[in-house]
Amino acid sequence: MHEIEDIRNGLSEIFGRVLQQPTIPTDVSFFDLGGSSLAAIQIVSMVEERHGVSLDVLEVFGTEGLEELSRKVHSLLVQAP
């Protein structure tokens, strides 16, 4: 079972590494955290490597923060065969 808290923690770690920030708030948008197109591509790649799901770069751009993106990743994991 994929717990949403574990997913959120994993995403926080990924965002922190890519954006070089020690703490990532769950309710701040990717761009407000200083995200760029290149950073979004790195995040998509790392999410796929860690969680085994494919996100579109636009999903990283379009979410309001880690909380929303965590729910999206959780949804993809639940749907996976």
Q: Angle of helix 66-79 relative to helix 37-51, nearest 10 degrees?
A: 40
Domain that holds residue 38: 4-79
The Cα 61–Cα 65 span in angstroms is: 9
Digitized pLDDT (tens) for each residue of the chain, 81 residues in all? 579 999 999 999 999 999 999 999 999 999 999 999 999 999 999 999 999 999 999 999 988 899 999 999 999 999 877
What's 37's domain CATH number?
1.10.1200.10
The Cα 9–Cα 11 span in angstroms is: 5
pTM attached to this predicted model: 0.91
Tally of structural domains, the chain? 1
The Cα 34–Cα 39 span in angstroms is: 9
SS3 content of the chain, % helix, strand, coil (to 5): 65, 0, 35
